[in-house]
Every structure is written in structure tokens, then in C-alpha cells.
């Protein structure tokens, strides 16, 4: 019986060593067709591939339809801190995201136990290029530079990670519009309201790579987004239906203040830290000591 178990273990190892590694995702040479993914062969006991402009990807040892691909998928959670480290892989369905868009080398040993991710692409600076992308502007997919500039958010001076956009015709949001707040690569900034309809279902916390927001009424006013300090954490978004410019947004000083941490979680008794404060339709950051 012991011999049978040993043979079975050897057979399993041989299968793993000869398995093909398949990759789908957002990056040069990739796509989201599980029947025709990038194929990587093992050389010298490991799978090694460099993918330029990589943002999001999935790995599997099987190709075909999504059920087949996902059933053999391998996943982990790459972060800036794990770059250059061997991260344990588990056989579970799940997209993986690079810490930032760039040229990455992926190394997986033949036993498919770990993933090591490295890059020579520098980490981007703190200021982001943030745009309003939706059905009202063709998602900016074929837009020229001038049109992109018209839909770009402006950073708020003195407020880190905070950006605003003034919606006014012809750059408003008509009823029925679907939209997201994202960069031009759908990479570091890619936020949606999870299918919520404005104004009835709108909440302030938007998650990375969530589905679109939809306008249940015409909207002109100011949109504010506070991006998280950690990569692809939750953002905090408000839509202030005012026709005034950013500098003239009205604030009702009698409205109660609501406090949120930088991950968008509400805090009842804030102390010793930087918090997002909402008072009526006004959103700002304050340092509580």
C-alpha cells in the first residue's frame, strides 16, 4: 500500500511539472478569452514570462470555457510589499492585480506552489489622472486628448487624494447615464457604485472595479472623490447637485458631521488620525488629535 501511495505522489508531481500555465488579463499579449489565453511553457523547472503594461490577470492550468479555466485557477494577493517574494498560490478562482500598472516578470515553479512578481517600473507618484468615463462620452475609449481633458477631475489644493469635477452642460450626466470614475487604463483608479442608481440608492463608499453607477435623474453639480491611501482600497464619492462651481458649494453648518477613516469605514468617535468628514454635501479631510 505504501508503494501505491508513493507512485500516486510521483504521478501527481509529474502531472504538475508537465502542466501548461495559461494566463488571461489586462496587459500586452493578454485578453479575457479563456479558450485562447497566453500559454507559458516550463523551462528549467519553472514558468517565466514578462508581460508589459500588466494591470490585472488570472492564471490556470486549464483552458476552455470559464468554468474549466476557473476550476483549475491559481491565485494569491500581490502587493507592493510582496514584490520579489515567493507568494503561496492556492487553487481558487480570483483575479490578481499588480501593485501598479507596469512591466512585470512572473515566475512560477513547476510544482505551481508560488508566484514571484518583480518589476522595474517605478511606483507612480501620489497625484492621479482621474476621469469621468461613461455612456455620455463613449467611455473615452476613442477620445482625443482635448476631449479627455474636458472630462478630467481636478485635484483639490491642500487636500491629498481628493479630486473634483464640475458637471455642467455639455459635460453633465443625463438621466439613464452609466458611468465610473477611472484613469485612462482602468488601472490604479477604477471605481463604480456597484450598480446603484442616483439619488435613491447612492452610498458614499465606492469599491475598486465595482460595476457602474447609473443616473436616475439629470445631474449638474460637483462630483468629489477621495481616493484611498492604499492601492485599490475603497474610495469615498459624493455628488453635490449644485450648479455652482467648486469654490461656491453651499454647506449647511447645521448638518451633523459624519466621520470616516481613509478606507471609507464610518467612525463614531474619531481620535488621533486623519479622517474624511461629510457635512451635508461637503466632503473634506481633517486631522483629529
pLDDT in tens, 124-181: 887 889 999 999 999 999 899 999 999 999 999 888 889 999 999 899 999 999 999 9
Res. 23: pLDDT tops 70: yes
**Cα-based angle 105, 111, 113 (whole degrees, multiple of 5):** 65
Res. 74: pLDDT tops 70: yes
Read off the pLDDT band of 63 (50, 70, 90).
very high
Whether 39 and 33 have beta carbons less than 8 Å apart is answered as no
Give the pLDDT confidence score for residue 283 in this predicted structure.
59
Question: Is the whole model's pTM more than 0.85, yes or no?
Answer: no
Average pLDDT, the chain: 84
Q: 133 φ, ψ to 5°?
A: -125, 125
Q: How far is CA 149 from CA 11, 133, 140, 231, in A?
A: 58, 12, 10, 24
Q: 148 φ, ψ to 5°?
A: -60, -40
The residues, ordered by sequence, that sit 6+ positions from 120 with a Cβ below 8 Å of its Cβ are 102, 103
| Segment 224-269, tens digit of pLDDT | 999 998 888 899 999 888 643 333 334 455 678 777 765 556 788 8
Amino acid at each position: 500500500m505504501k508503494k501505491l501511495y508513493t507512485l500516486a505522489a510521483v504521478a501527481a508531481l509529474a502531472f504538475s511539472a508537465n502542466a501548461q500555465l495559461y494566463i488571461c488579463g489586462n496587459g500586452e499579449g493578454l485578453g479575457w478569452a479563456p479558450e485562447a489565453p497566453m500559454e507559458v511553457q516550463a523551462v528549467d523547472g519553472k514558468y517565466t514570462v514578462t508581460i508589459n503594461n500588466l494591470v490585472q490577470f488570472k492564471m490556470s492550468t486549464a483552458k476552455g470555457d470559464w468554468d474549466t479555466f476557473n476550476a483549475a485557477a491559481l491565485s494569491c494577493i500581490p502587493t507592493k510589499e510582496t514584490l520579489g517574494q515567493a507568494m503561496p498560490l492556492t487553487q481558487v478562482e480570483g483575479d490578481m492585480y499588480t501593485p501598479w500598472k507596469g512591466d512585470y516578470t512572473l515566475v512560477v515553479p513547476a510544482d505551481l506552489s508560488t508566484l514571484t512578481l518583480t518589476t522595474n517600473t517605478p511606483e507612480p507618484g501620489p497625484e492621479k489622472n482621474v476621469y469621468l468615463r461613461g455612456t455620455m462620452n463613449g467611455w473615452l475609449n476613442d477620445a482625443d486628448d482635448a476631449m479627455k481633458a474636458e472630462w478630467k477631475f481636478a485635484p483639490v489644493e491642500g487636500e491629498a487624494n481628493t479630486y473634483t469635477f464640475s458637471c455642467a452642460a455639455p459635460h453633465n450626466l443625463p438621466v439613464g447615464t452609466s458611468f465610473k470614475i477611472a484613469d485612462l487604463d482602468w488601472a490604479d483608479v477604477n471605481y463604480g457604485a456597484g450598480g446603484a442608481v442616483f439619488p435613491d440608492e447612492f452610498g458614499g463608499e465606492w469599491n475598486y472595479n465595482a460595476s457602474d453607477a447609473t443616473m436616475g435623474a439629470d445631474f449638474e453639480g460637483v462630483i468629489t472623490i477621495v481616493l484611498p491611501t492604499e492601492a485599490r482600497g475603497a474610495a469615498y464619492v459624493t455628488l453635490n447637485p449644485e450648479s455652482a462651481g467648486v469654490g461656491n458649494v453651499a454647506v449647511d453648518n447645521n448638518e451633523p458631521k459624519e466621520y470616516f477613516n481613509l478606507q471609507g469605514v464610518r467612525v463614531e468617535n474619531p481620535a488621533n488620525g486623519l479622517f474624511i468628514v461629510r457635512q451635508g454635501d461637503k466632503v473634506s479631510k481633517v486631522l483629529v488629535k
